[in-house]
Structure 1
Amino acid sequence: MDTVLFNFHDVTLILLSFECLLVAAILSISQPNRPLSTWFFVGFLICHSLMALHELVFWGKEFRLWMLDVSPNLFFLGSYAYYLDGPFLFLFVRALLYKDFALKRVDLLHLLPLALYAFLLVVAFYGLSAADKVQLIETQHIAYSSPFLYFDAASKYLRVGYALFGLALVWRYGLRLQDSVANINRQDLVWLKAMMLTILLLYCLDALLLTVKLHGLVTQNFNMDLLNDLGVSAYHLNFLAINVLVLLKFSRFDTVEAIDSETNSGQDTEDAMTAEWVQRIEQGMQDPAVYALPNISLDKLADALDIPARKLSQILKHHFDTNFYEFVNRRRIEVAKARLADPAFDHQSITDIFYDVGFNSKSVFNTFFKRMVGQTPSQYRETSRREPDGGKGIFQSH
């Protein structure tokens, strides 16, 4: 990048920086009642805008000289963002997936690596004379010197750690979603995992680049061709990943069902598991206005039954030995079984029935029905009318 002004790689970085700032500005001023997750996403975008500018100034000769004319003290301004985009990503995912998330004092620890890096720059760069700063930047000696290179590598490895923690959050969210939602949007979950895996790949590529640099520092033999190829690949993958992430922000993330981050384990279980609570749940689940809601959630069921959401989750787990997803859909299947077995519902197609009982996906209905009953809905409709119980289940209601 030292030979041509505004080459293809420069344009990629400029476009990325401008796009991130533009989207961050749009999100900041256009959305009323912006959730906390949006602000973390805005911070993440601003970081990537600064990082793109930093790469442009750090490796582009003409941009580097221009920055020296302005002030050498501004040269590393964008590098601080490498210590912030990981925390912003992690906090964005937490705030997006868990509705009870709130910032705590312990979250200030995310700023500790940034503070250490700032201290390093004060000692190793800002404390130097203006002439020494200019020489370090012009010769790019600082890019391959041990103090800076170690901290640069630490920032890249730290980002990999944040991406792994973010992926773990999404994975845990997917497992716990069944405790809170009856109709799970699998596509949102797939996109969330794909997003985190893509970002993890990007961060791993950056970490690999710094690993090669560290190897060159130890052996005093830097493979410049390999470093250039890895760096350029990271630029374009970053551009692609950010664009996908922005697209998902506007198309998918608003429909993500946030859940509680924690569920009480066994505390107060005996108090909650009274006959009154259990009876209220069983009676409430007889009402189609409750179980047949396509978007029924743990919170909505708790409101309908006038039971605290965490108490309800606890009762389902310890008394009914199931999670919310299984509990509601078992009830729906029981009603569907009764209708399929009843000649009075012959005028209804299987599609009409699964919509009426609350399912919004034929594949989910068929899969759940086959797992629970051992037959497909059409097979069950043909055979169940010969059974004396008419296909009714534990709730005994249509």
Structure 2
Amino acid sequence: MSSPNPILTTIIFVFAAQAIVLGVLLLTKRPRSQSNTFLSLLIFFFALMALNIALVNVLRSYNMMDTFRYVQLELLYGIGPALYFYTKSITDNDFRFSKKDLIHFVPVVLEFIFYRTAFYRLGSDGLYQTPAHPYTKYYLAEQWLGVLSITLYTIISLVVLFRYQNWLKQRFSNLENKSLNWLKAPIIIYSAFWIGWNILSEIDRFVFDRGLREMYFLPAFVGVAIVSYWIGFKGYVKARTKTSGYSSRKTKSDDSTHNPKWASKITKVMESKKPYLDPELDLTKLSELADLNPKQVSHTINRSFSKNFYEYVNGYRVEEFKQLVAKPENRKLTLLGLAFECGFKSKSTFNDAFKKTTGKTPSQYANQQKKESEKKHSVAP
């Protein structure tokens, strides 16, 4: 165990307590939603883990470690299920948590009971004994199974998130407040923490005889407390535009719903009516303009143009931008202003689409066009 550090311990207490407060606010936020419930649980489990370490240091400073073994707060097995069901809830509006899903939280109940037994008390203390106590192997097995649980649930959560984002790109040309990119960071951080923590602890134990513990123990949990507070704050204030029709279950594509003539029909609509100038253009709107159903339009874009809907529409917007930026009368306008005229809705989407299409940033392209224009004028008679 690390030596008592009142400054780091106080920081952990402050951020972990604030995270729990945010979790309570999420739980009571109106209108109530199951996504907020699971995010609140996720924050609670991580904040509890940080508080657990802070409590360890306080009790140790008063030589009360024997008491701590009876009030262990860490609940590893709740993190994975909370993360998974939060991801499911926030990506799929039709998902409803059912009684059969409660089985995912049975391990955390068993973990709570385990911490109240001699297997935990003697096993955890045995880590610091030579030779180790016979129960230590049970304690280590419980810890590593907890890490495995978090890892597996994280992988599944990321799969759900990536499928959702791919589905969005098949239906929407702008993804603001829909893509949930901000959620990737906490998912990965929460998973990586315990994997890295246990690996580092084992290296420290066997290679350095716990000589590095002072360097990483409390600072690591300061980070956990801060990240828990951050995700709570982000989850509380972050809104997203509701989308319907998505299911996390993978559906089979129907290759028979494709006709090469539809490609020219869609192209004609895009070039003559320029629907891509509408920032809210989605698959349904384009399908109505092309007099086709959404499935036909989506599969045609995928097969005939080897793009998803998002890439296809934004490709037209990029070309429109290139035409506008080449006109001398537009040089006084900002690049972002021109991008908005072309149907883009945010700077990040514009920069991303432009770089993927041209291999250059918008400013690099504009500067190149300006230099070429000046060069032509300088050599003109």
Distance in structure 2 (CA, Å) of the matches to 1:121 and 1:283: 67
Query: What residue is the counterpart of 1:236 in the other structure?
Result: 222
1:202 equivalenced with 2:187 (yes/no)? no
Deviation at 1:179, TM superposition (A): 2.5
Q: Which amino acid aligns with 1:316?
A: I
Distance in structure 2 (CA, Å) of the matches to 1:29 and 1:275: 53
Query: What residue is the counterpart of 1:40 in the other structure?
Result: 38
Deviations 1:251-273 (A, max 9, x none): 6x424886834564333x43x43
* TM-score (normalised: structure 1): 0.66
Query: What residue is the counterpart of 2:303 in the other structure?
Result: 318
Query: What residue is the counterpart of 2:234 in the other structure?
Result: 248
Structure 1 residues 348 and 235, CA gap change in structure 2 (3 angstroms):
closer
Distance in structure 2 (CA, Å) of the matches to 1:171 and 1:149: 33
Alignment of 1:65-76 (within 5 A): 65=64, 68=67, 75-76=71-72
Query: What residue is the counterpart of 1:84 in the other structure?
Result: 78
Query: What residue is the counterpart of 2:252 in the other structure?
Result: 265
2:230 aligns to what SS in structure 1? helix
Query: What residue is the counterpart of 1:387 in the other structure?
Result: none
- Could you tell me whether the CA contact under 8 Å between 2:258 and 2:300 is conserved in 1? yes
Decide which of 47, 50, 56 is 2:48's aligned counterpart: 50
- Could you tell me whether the CA contact under 8 Å between 1:152 and 1:210 is conserved in 2? no
Q: Which amino acid aligns with 1:292?
A: L
Query: What residue is the counterpart of 1:182 in the other structure?
Result: 173
Structure 1 unaligned residues grouped into runs of 5+: 127-132, 384-398
Structure 1 residues 229 and 2, CA gap change in structure 2 (3 angstroms):
closer
The alignment covers a number of residue pairs equal to 353
Distance in structure 2 (CA, Å) of the matches to 1:370 and 1:35: 42
Q: Which amino acid aligns with 1:226?
A: L
Structure 1 residues 282 and 155, CA gap change in structure 2 (3 angstroms):
same
Query: What residue is the counterpart of 1:19 in the other structure?
Result: 18
Deviation at 1:19, TM superposition (A): 1.0
Deviations 1:15-67 (A, max 9, x none): 2331122101222223x334433222111112123323333445523788599
Query: What residue is the counterpart of 1:357 in the other structure?
Result: 342
Name which structure has the greater RCO, CA cutoff 8 Å, separation 6+.
2
Alignment of 1:1-398 (within 5 A): 7-30=6-29, 32-58=30-56, 60-61=59-60, 65=64, 68=67, 75-76=71-72, 78-79=73-74, 81-99=75-93, 101-103=95-97, 107-108=101-102, 110-114=104-108, 116-117=110-111, 120=114, 124=118, 140-141=125-126, 145-167=136-158, 169-170=160-161, 177-184=168-175, 191-209=182-200, 211-212=202-203, 223-250=209-236, 253-255=238-240, 260=246, 261=248, 264-267=251-254, 269-270=255-256, 272-273=257-258, 281=266, 285=270, 290-298=275-283, 301=286, 309-310=294-295, 312-333=297-318, 351=335, 354-360=339-345, 361=347, 363-364=351-352, 366-367=354-355, 370=358, 379=369
Structure 1 residues 275 and 187, CA gap change in structure 2 (3 angstroms):
closer
- Could you tell me whether the CA contact under 8 Å between 2:53 and 2:221 is conserved in 1? no
Note the aligned Cα RMSD (angstroms).
4.8
Distance in structure 1 (CA, Å) of the matches to 2:49 and 2:65: 17
Deviation at 1:354, TM superposition (A): 3.9
Deviation at 1:147, TM superposition (A): 1.8
